[in-house]
């Protein structure tokens, strides 16, 4: 259940917002309703991250209310938060432009409230971005409690839900197996012993993760995998030099990394890489927390100015205000698809020549190929790996330099 202080609603007219308050309350997102700026100020001073909903008769009044409250809170006392403006249908165009330019974090047409469940989706998404897991779905308990479902439909749904639960158990078992393998490989590498690790299975397992319920448990696994792979890559040059001197072929994990290292070296011999290094500007358009974490861990190893957009609307706002050297775009986004973002890039004068690379799952390769025809430079089956990132930069003649320790 979402804590009361995590969703704050400023309302000038509670009667006008009665349906909104009722909808949020029914879905365990009961808002703390305030009627003055000081009420927002007090909540912004609390340490718990917040979603701030501001409902006023005019859109510009909502901006005035929120930014007046923000002005009264010093940086050291300000909590993490998102600001959502609740607007009338007449102000939607103005709210959209404000969103695209980063003035508001999101908006909702709430006077009147046409899409009853839209507030729930917005709050859940923003709370997830603030680090709160989505609430669990009741599943079987719900379908047997709801009178509108017939026995035949209940039986069919029960079968499907049971199958999904079994697949989740199998995934969790794979995660446990991989974690043990990572620990074993790390221990052997520390002892300068040959270690073997099924990197393909690791990649496939991480790419399959879509369940919000188990994502928090995977942070430790991600960290172990990244630390292990980074250790191997950092030490590989010295290891390979001594191996070649001794004329002894590398084995196991070292052999796989060595072969990829050689391949990248051979491929780079005929590539004209610009000598002048600059801070590369990269935009990552991705809504999956696992992929964001993995990709960010790799990109932050280099001198890169990285921006992240969780939705298509945020991506378009970034592309309108800043020029990028490289954009990674997920095929599936909560509010649109990667192909649409790609089309917008090619029409935009600021990023018309920007290199776009699509991020996809195995089952979406056909869509990714369509994106290549639309102008994408390449596509990657998630998750992004360090050697693939470097190879793409070489191919696109983007010079990246590693951060100094």
* Per-residue confidence (pLDDT) for residue 321, from 0 to 100: 85
Contact 214/172 with Cβ under 8 angstroms?
Answer: yes
Taking alpha carbons only, the member of 200, 186, 191, 196 closest to residue 228 is 186
* Domain boundary residue, one of 246, 268, 290: 268
DSSP lists the bridge partners of residue 106 as 84
Q: Are residues 322 and 264 in the same domain?
A: no
Task: Name every residue whose Cβ is closer than 8 Å to that of residue 299 and which is 6 or more positions away in sequence.
Answer: 282, 284, 306, 389
The answer to the question of residue 182 being in a domain is yes
The two three-digit tokens of residue 389, written as one number: 């990132």
Q: Compute φ and ψ for 330, nearest 5 degrees.
A: -70, 145
Instruction: Kindly report the length of the chain.
Output: 405
* Per-residue confidence (pLDDT) for residue 267, from 0 to 100: 46
Q: Are residues 39 and 71 in the same domain?
A: yes
The answer to the question of residue 404 being in a domain is no
3-state secondary structure the chain: CCCHHHEEEEECCCCCCHHHHHHHHHCCCCCEEECCHHHHHHHHCCCCCEEEEEECCCHHHHHHHHHHHHHCCCHHHCCCEEEEEEEEHHHHHHHHHHHHCCCCCEEEEEECECCCCHHHHHHHHHHHHCCCCCCCCCCHHHHHHCCCCCHHHHHHHHHHHHHHHHHHHHHHHHHHHHHHHHHHHHHHHHCCCCCCCCHHHHHHHHHHCCCCCCHHHHHHHHHHHHHHHHHHHHHHHHHHHHHHHCCCCCCHHHHHHHHHHHHHHHHHCCCCCCCCCCCEEEEEECCCHHHHHHHHHHHCCECEEEEEECCHHHHHHHHHHCCCCEEEEECECCCCEHHHHHHHHHHCCCCCCCEEEEEECHHHHHHHHHHHHHCCCEEEECCCCHHHHHHHHHHCCCCCCECCC
Burial 354-393 (b: 16+ CB within 10 A, else e): bbbbbbbbeebeebbebbeeeebbbbbbbbbbbebbbbbb
The answer to the question of residue 142 being in a domain is no
End-to-end alpha carbon distance in the chain: 43
The widest CA-to-CA distance across the chain, in whole angstroms, is 81
Q: Are residues 355 and 301 in the same domain?
A: yes
pTM as predicted: 0.41
* Per-residue confidence (pLDDT) for residue 8, from 0 to 100: 93
Taking alpha carbons only, the member of 405, 404, 402 closest to residue 304 is 402
Q: Are residues 263 and 160 in the same domain?
A: yes
Taking alpha carbons only, the member of 342, 373, 335 closest to residue 359 is 342
DSSP lists the bridge partners of residue 379 as 358
The answer to the question of residue 160 being in a domain is yes
CB-based burial label for 126 (10 Å; 0-12, 13-18, 19+): buried
* Per-residue confidence (pLDDT) for residue 284, from 0 to 100: 94
State how many domains the chain has.
3
* Domain boundary residue, one of 234, 268, 302: 268
* Per-residue confidence (pLDDT) for residue 195, from 0 to 100: 66
Taking alpha carbons only, the member of 7, 31, 30, 97 closest to residue 59 is 97
> How many CA atoms are closer than 13 Å to the CA of 229, on its beta-carbon side?
21
The answer to the question of residue 401 being in a domain is no
192: domain range? Answer: 155-268
Q: What is the pLDDT of residues 113-165, one digit of tens each?
A: 877 778 888 888 888 777 665 545 556 666 666 667 777 887 787 788 777 77
Regions in the chain scoring below 50 on pLDDT? 1-4, 135, 211-214, 216, 233-234, 236-254, 256-258, 260-276
> How many CA atoms are closer than 13 Å to the CA of 168, on its beta-carbon side?
12
* Per-residue confidence (pLDDT) for residue 140, from 0 to 100: 60
C-alpha distances out from residue 132 to 83, 210, 289, 313, 314, Å: 17, 16, 12, 22, 20
The answer to the question of residue 323 being in a domain is yes
How far is Cα 63 from Cα 103, in angstroms, rounded to an integer?
Answer: 8
The two three-digit tokens of residue 59, written as one number: 């859109």
Q: Are residues 260 and 376 in the same domain?
A: no
Q: Are residues 117 and 53 in the same domain?
A: yes
* Domain boundary residue, one of 100, 135, 170: 135
The answer to the question of residue 257 being in a domain is yes
Q: Are residues 261 and 287 in the same domain?
A: no
Taking alpha carbons only, the member of 285, 295, 332, 290 closest to residue 171 is 290
The answer to the question of residue 146 being in a domain is no
């Amino acid at each position: 259940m979402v804590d009361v202080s995590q969703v704050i609603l400023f309302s000038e007219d509670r009667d006008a917002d009665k349906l909104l308050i009722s909808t949020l309350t029914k879905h365990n997102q009961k808002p703390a309703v305030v009627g003055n700026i000081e009420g927002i100020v007090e909540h912004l001073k609390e340490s718990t991250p917040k979603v701030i909903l501001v409902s006023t008769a005019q859109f510009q009044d909502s901006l005035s209310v929120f930014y007046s409250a923000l002005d009264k809170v010093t940086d050291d006392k300000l909590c993490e938060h998102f600001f959502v403006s609740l607007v009338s249908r007449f102000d939607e165009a103005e709210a959209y432009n404000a969103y695209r330019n980063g003035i508001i974090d999101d908006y909702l047409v709430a006077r009147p409230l046409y899409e009853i469940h839209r507030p729930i989706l917005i709050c859940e998404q923003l709370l997830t971005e603030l680090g709160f897991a989505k609430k669990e779905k009741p599943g079987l308990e719900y379908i047997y409690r709801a009178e509108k479902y017939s026995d035949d439909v209940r039986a069919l749904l029960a079968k499907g839900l049971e199958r999904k639960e079994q697949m989740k158990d199998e995934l969790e078992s794979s995660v446990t197996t991989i974690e043990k393998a990572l620990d074993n490989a790390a221990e052997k590498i520390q002892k300068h012993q040959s270690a073997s690790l099924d990197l393909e299975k690791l990649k496939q397992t991480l790419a399959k993760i879509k369940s919000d319920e188990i994502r928090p448990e995977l942070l430790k696994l991600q960290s172990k995998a990244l630390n292990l792979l980074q250790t191997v890559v950092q030490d590989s040059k010295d290891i390979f030099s001594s191996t070649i001197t001794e004329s002894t072929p590398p084995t196991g994990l070292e052999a796989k990394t060595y072969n990829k290292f050689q391949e990248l070296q051979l491929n780079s011999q005929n590539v004209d890489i610009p000598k002048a290094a600059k801070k590369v500007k990269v935009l990552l358009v991705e809504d999956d927390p696992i992929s964001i974490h993995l990709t960010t861990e790799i990109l932050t190893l280099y001198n890169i100015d990285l921006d992240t957009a969780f939705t298509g609307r945020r991506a378009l706002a970034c592309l309108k205000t800043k020029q990028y050297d490289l954009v990674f775009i997920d095929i599936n986004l909560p509010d649109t698809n990667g192909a649409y973002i790609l089309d917008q890039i090619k029409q935009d004068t600021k990023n018309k020549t920007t290199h776009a690379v699509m991020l996809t799952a195995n089952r979406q390769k056909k869509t990714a190929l369509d994106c290549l025809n639309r102008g994408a430079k390449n596509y990657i089956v998630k998750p992004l790996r360090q050697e693939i990132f470097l190879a793409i930069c070489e191919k696109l003649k983007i010079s990246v330099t590693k951060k100094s320790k």
